[in-house]
Amino acid sequence: MPICKEILIIKYGDFECGVLELLEDPALGETVQIELPEDVEGGHEELFHYDAVFIVVGESGRNDEILDQLEEVAATLPVILLLRIFDHDFENVALRTGAQDCLVASEIDLNTLMRSLHHGIARNRNRMGLKLAESEQRLQAFRESQAFYHSLVETLTQGIFRKDRHGRFTFVNETFCKGTGHRPGEFLGKTDFDFFPEELARKYHQDDMGVIESGAGTDKEEGYETADGERLVIRTIKTPVRDGDSEIIGLQGIFWDITAEKQAEEELAGSRERFELAVRGSNDGIWDWNVLTGEVYFSDRFKELLGYDPDGFENVYDSFESRLHPEDREATLSAVDSHLKERAPYDVEYRLRCKDGEYKWFRARGMAIWDGGGNATRMSGSIGDVTERKAAEASLLRRTEELERSNKDLEQFAWVASHDLKEPLRAVSNYVQLLERRYSGKLDDEGKRFIGFAVAGAKRMRVLINDLLAFSRIGTRGKRLEPVDGGEPLTTALKNLALVIQETGAEVETEPLPRVWGDSGQLAQLFQNLIGNAIKFCEAEPKIQISATREGAMCRFFVRDNGIGMDAAHLEKVFEVFQRLHTREKYEGTGIGLALVRKIAERHGGKVRVDSLPGEGSTFSFTLRAV
């Protein structure tokens, strides 16, 4: 029984007739047909009915032509090469190109040919089976891809379509059909002229032809008016469709309604314009940062503050970040990051480099918008030029530092002066008292009176030195402010004044006092000076009332008396150093006590005042920060 039904022999060059007769043996095939190479060129569909092919190569065969023929035939049929002359290199190339076997004519017989043909057909069947399986897999993958593609495009909210080169629809999705009253199948093979008004269809056709002829896609936003008079804005993207040879065979397009998006953009632009008009009066510049894209809208005023024209400053985040002063960069970017991630308030001051290369100070405030997942999407705000204020603050800081140095020098001077004055003053006082004790019997009345003047003057000088020293130390030697019960320093002051209160029969009424931030020692001195003055400047039995009320974040304390009072013209004068309204002979003192009261109140962040009328007593009040 023959191995094959039909065998084709393709002969290159001269060959021995004995070999050809061997190939025609009925044991190999029922029908054997011998052809020249030129008879099988130009396509091999006619070869599919053969079972196997022998290519015999004589001396005059050209290797390149043989290999080309082999590659095309071996794609579908088992091919065995018979060589008149053995060529090892050609054999290797032929086997790689697709030959199932390669034999030398002088070494073969019928059995060799039959074995080679059997093996070649078997290997080819295996190979074709694998190719068929691969083709089935690719076909299945293609079908799944097509199913996924169609399921995807049918669920999109955008309209999708395809057309051939003549503008005929080859595919439309469900979204495309909405509003037309037609099913997808009704569009296939038809054009825009079958569904839309002629003028609109002609425009669509012209756009389509432009894409097909140019090979370039288009992206357009166009307005349309519906039959109900509704104005819509549609965005349409069209791209050419190419075949495997890159020839344009049609186009595909996608479109969707962007009316709401456009309206939102217009509203945003209107809001931005209104906001810019509002802040223009305050001389501020505004910015609106799209956190997701990095694009930033900088108002014309923003750019003007930096010395730029409207077109000379790029609307990207780096335009801001790259101009930050190196010393302010880390703190500013950290403040932005804290606001976006932790929603911390964004109110910062930084320096930006202007067009002329100089830096200016700006104060920036802003607020972000977060999506449902807590991620910041936008951030908007304003900046204002605070360069002059920062310069004034720097100048004030320098003056404050100079004043602090001056105060320290004055304090040191006061300490040295008081120390240096006390020693000679003590010596003068001691010697004058010694004179009084030793020679009092030898002095007449006028001498004794002179010695009394000297002793009294020395005592007043000592009191004055101590008061001056206490006044100079109020701002520098005080303790750190801490919560204090207002009644504690008052109790200390009353204990210090117990003797004079007892001697004058003064009545002191007190109410519960609030807790405040203060230095207990200095507050005791403040109360002692005010109560002491109330007792001193009273011609009747002193009556003093002490109370307090809350005024927002402050507490106001009152010390009321029934003393001699004072004229309105003197209400501020009494708080100045060495200012006295009465002679020393009538009311003793150094004129420093009330100046000390004001300095203590101011050191505590408060103020002091007095309300009084002659003969009707006085009410001194001062404020302290409430706890």
Domains of the chain: residue spans and CATH: 4-133 (3.40.50.2300), 156-257 (3.30.450.20), 275-385 (3.30.450.20), 391-461 (no CATH), 482-625 (3.30.565.10)
The identity of residue 132, as a single letter, is L
Confidence grade of residue 549 (pLDDT, cut at 50, 70, 90): very high
Give the least confident one: 125-134, 155-164, 616-625.
125-134
pTM (two decimals):
0.36
pLDDT tens across 316-329, in order?
889 999 999 999 99
Give the least confident one: 129-143, 365-379, 534-548.
129-143
Phi, psi of 142 (to 5 degrees): -65, -45
Write out the two tokens for 108.
């073969």
Of residues 416, 431, 618, 450, the one with CA closest to residue 537: 618
Please tell me which residue, 345 or 67, carries the higher pLDDT value. 345
Give the least confident one: 109-118, 239-248, 428-437.
428-437
Average pLDDT over residues 2-7: 82
pLDDT tens across 350-393, in order?
999 999 999 999 999 999 998 888 889 999 899 999 999 999 98
Average pLDDT over residues 189-204: 90
DSSP run (H or E) holding 350: strand 346-353
Average pLDDT over residues 136-160: 74
> What's the pLDDT at 110?
84
pLDDT tens across 552-569, in order?
999 999 999 998 888 776
The pLDDT > 90 percentage for the chain reads 28
Report the alpha-carbon distance of residue 123 to residue 118 in Å, rounded.
9
> What's the pLDDT at 416?
61
> What's the pLDDT at 249?
94
Report the alpha-carbon distance of residue 291 to residue 377 in Å, rounded.
5
Please tell me which residue, 506 or 269, carries the higher pLDDT value. 506
Q: Residue 202 pLDDT > 80, yes or no?
A: yes
Give the least confident one: 3-7, 337-341, 426-430, 622-626.
426-430
Where is mean pLDDT largest: 220-224, 451-455, 469-473? 220-224
What residues contact residue 499 under an 8 Å CB cut-off, 6+ apart? none
> What's the pLDDT at 364?
94
- 320, 297 Cβ separation under 8 angstroms: no
Confidence grade of residue 149 (pLDDT, cut at 50, 70, 90): low
Where is mean pLDDT largest: 129-143, 221-235, 239-253? 239-253
Please tell me which residue, 91 or 576, carries the higher pLDDT value. 91
Average pLDDT over residues 526-547: 89
Query: Helices 63-73 and 88-97: crossing angle, nearest 10°?
Result: 30
Q: Residue 244 pLDDT > 80, yes or no?
A: yes
Average pLDDT over residues 33-42: 63
Average pLDDT, the chain: 82
Average pLDDT over residues 488-494: 91
Write out the two tokens for 329.
């960069």
Report the alpha-carbon distance of residue 543 to residue 485 in Å, rounded.
24
Q: Residue 109 pLDDT > 50, yes or no?
A: yes
**How open is the CA angle 581-582-583, to the nearest 5 degrees?**
140
Average pLDDT over residues 419-445: 71
Average pLDDT over residues 154-179: 86
| 368 phi-psi bin (left φ>0, alpha ψ -120 to 50, beta other) | beta
Where is mean pLDDT largest: 22-36, 38-52, 95-109, 142-156? 95-109
Write out the two tokens for 603.
């050191």
DSSP run (H or E) holding 574: none
Average pLDDT over residues 257-273: 77
Pairing of strands 159-164, 248-257: antiparallel
Q: Residue 22 pLDDT > 90, yes or no?
A: no
The pLDDT > 70 percentage for the chain reads 81
Phi, psi of 376 (to 5 degrees): -70, 135
Average pLDDT over residues 403-428: 66
Q: Residue 153 pLDDT > 70, yes or no?
A: no
Q: Residue 542 pLDDT > 70, yes or no?
A: yes
Q: Residue 34 pLDDT > 80, yes or no?
A: no
> What's the pLDDT at 583?
46
Confidence grade of residue 334 (pLDDT, cut at 50, 70, 90): very high
Average pLDDT over residues 519-545: 88
> What's the pLDDT at 44?
52
* CA-based end-to-end distance of the chain: 118
Average pLDDT over residues 105-126: 84
Q: Residue 581 pLDDT > 60, yes or no?
A: no
Report the alpha-carbon distance of residue 366 to residue 500 in Å, rounded.
63
Q: Residue 231 pLDDT > 60, yes or no?
A: yes
Phi, psi of 81 (to 5 degrees): -95, 135
Phi, psi of 219 (to 5 degrees): -140, 105
Report the alpha-carbon distance of residue 14 to residue 37 in Å, rounded.
13
The identity of residue 150, as a single letter, is H
Average pLDDT over residues 291-308: 90
Confidence grade of residue 144 (pLDDT, cut at 50, 70, 90): confident
Please tell me which residue, 328 or 128, carries the higher pLDDT value. 328
> What's the pLDDT at 358?
94
Report the alpha-carbon distance of residue 581 to residue 577 in Å, rounded.
12
Pairing of strands 248-257, 231-242: antiparallel
DSSP run (H or E) holding 377: strand 376-385
pLDDT tens across 439-460, in order?
767 777 777 777 777 776 666 6
